[in-house]
Amino acid sequence: MSKVRVLVGTRKGAFILTADGKREKWEVSGPLFAGWEMYHLKGSPADPNRIYASQTSGWFGQVIQRSNDGGKTWDAPGGGVTAVPGQMPKGESNKFVYDTSPSGKPLTTHQWYDGTQHPWEFKRVWHLEPSYTDPDMVYAGVEDAALFRSTDGAHSWQELPGLRGHGTGPKWQPGAGGMCLHTVILDKKDPKRIYIAISAAGAFRSDDGGKSWKPINQGLRSQYIPDPKAEIGHCVHHVAMNPSRPNVLFMQKHWDVMRSDDAGDNWKEISGNLPTDFGFVIDVHAHEPETIYVVPIKSDSEHYPPEGKLRVYRSRSGGNEWEALTKGLPQSNCYVNVLRDAMAVDSLDKCGIYFGTTGGQVYASADAGDSWAPIVRDLPAVLSVEVQTLP
């Protein structure tokens, strides 16, 4: 029987939640890396036992952890004890250094909040995206915004400098959460196509494996950007795609839920009858590519559900027409947030939907959202949720 493994990153450690295909009885293990901020964990589609994790701390910086046994044991790649004292270490698993080579069109500054230019400073890894085909290849979206790639199982990392160097980089500026590259989407059908999104620069696409990039923000409207054709500057919160339809993208922007049917070249709004179109997460049903999910949040100044009711909204028509999913979710006095990487779908039939809250709950639905139940209720604030469907 199939199994699911839910990987949960929180403010104070990581947790792994497992269940069989019925998704009724759950085992909870953790905390892993107790006390550390675990921004994101994600398993390799090519080898589900290979899991990468971003472990970060204001005190000790960034660490990348890796498991080869489905999360039972972990190591920082290259971080083992060397045999001879005094020998220089070989591993550089924690080292993210911005490219400064002439070929990379190096950038030294981006726009700061006050409009002045500010140096790029590495802070943390927000998102890890393993390759569909190679368990040793993994992408890292980082703050300050840049895309890194490892081809040796996270032993070492190299920036893909064409993104920061494509031309608009000096105009990028941080959102309230920092200038983070938080979304990385690979195209299963076309290994050379990569989508990324940055707060608050916008969405970008590469069609040549990350060498060159173009902004894909036409059709986005933001109140604070007077130019309706602005190439960059939009605060994209998250982008989702069903792998079977890689040209169709769904976006939760700061405000507005958006859709593109041409690989991001043009966007149109699909907020429709949502009670508010502010939010962070968005995801797509594993088998129904026109079925999408969001969690509306009251506003950019009040980061909790409207009316204190935690509601997932589902559209079965690709947007505009939305239904509230409430069965099993708190419908009073609920003031949690659901952060941008904290929703995931499994590929079982019926499709399972999972999301985590800043109140420490992880909710699961084994029936595509019709009903919900908490897997756990009292974790630290949840930063990310990913799920692996296992044979």
Partner 1 sequence: MIRVVLPQHLRTMAKVGYELELEVAPPVTQRSVLDALEARFPVLRGTIRDHVTQQRRPFLRFFACEEDWSLESPDAPLPEAVVSGKEPFYIIGAIAGG
299 near partner 1 (CB under 8 A): no
57 near partner 1 (CB under 8 A): yes
CA torsion angle 93 94 99 101 (round to 10): -60
DSSP 7-38: EEEETTEEEEEEEETT--S-EEEEEESTTSEE
Look up tokens 């405000």; give the residue. 255
212, amino acid identity = S
Stretch of residues binding partner 1 (CB under 8 A), selected from 74-82, 209-217, 289-297, 322-330: 74-82
Nearer to partner 1, 58 or 115 (CB): 58
Binding mask 309-348 for partner 1 (x = CB under 8 A): ----------------------------------------
Nearer to partner 1, 77 or 175 (CB): 77
**Min dist. Cβ of residue 243 to partner 1 (A):** 34
- Cis preceding linkage at 306, omega within 30: no
Strand-pair partners of 49: none
Decide: 217 and 230 in contact? Cβ < 8 Å. yes
**Min dist. Cβ of residue 128 to partner 1 (A):** 17
User: What is the helix (H) or strand (E) element at residue 332, kind and residue range?
Assistant: none
DSSP 66-112: EESSTTSS-B-TT-SPPSSTTPPP---TT-------GGG----EEE-
Nearer to partner 1, 143 or 346 (CB): 143
91 near partner 1 (CB under 8 A): yes
Nearer to partner 1, 77 or 305 (CB): 77
Which of 36, 250, 322, 363 touches partner 1 by CB under 8 A? 36
301 near partner 1 (CB under 8 A): no
58 near partner 1 (CB under 8 A): yes
Give CA–CA dist 141/156, Å, rounded: 15
Give CA–CA dist 295/278, Å, rounded: 9
Which of 2, 47, 49, 63 touches partner 1 by CB under 8 A? 63
Stretch of residues binding partner 1 (CB under 8 A), selected from 56-64, 255-263, 300-308, 352-360: 56-64
Which of 24, 72, 89, 189 touches partner 1 by CB under 8 A? 89
DSSP 286-302: SS-TT-EEEEEES-SSS
94 near partner 1 (CB under 8 A): yes
Number of residues that bind partner 1 (CB under 8 A): 27
Nearer to partner 1, 9 or 352 (CB): 9
Nearer to partner 1, 78 or 162 (CB): 78
Give CA–CA dist 358/142, Å, rounded: 21
Which of 25, 73, 88, 115 touches partner 1 by CB under 8 A? 88
Phi-psi region of 264 (alpha: psi -120 to 50; beta: other; left: phi over 0): left
Residue 116 in tokens: 């002045």
224 near partner 1 (CB under 8 A): no
Nearer to partner 1, 60 or 112 (CB): 60
Which of 2, 3, 12, 76 touches partner 1 by CB under 8 A? 76
Stretch of residues binding partner 1 (CB under 8 A), selected from 86-94, 249-257, 266-274, 358-366: 86-94
**Which of 257-294 are b and which e, b meaning 16 or more Cβ less than 10 Å from the residue's Cβ?**
bbbbeebbeebebbbeebeebbbbbbbbbbeebebbbb
97 near partner 1 (CB under 8 A): yes
Give CA–CA dist 276/317, Å, rounded: 18
Which of 20, 27, 35, 273 touches partner 1 by CB under 8 A? 35
Interface positions with partner 1 (CB under 8 A): 35-36, 57-63, 76, 78-82, 85-95, 97
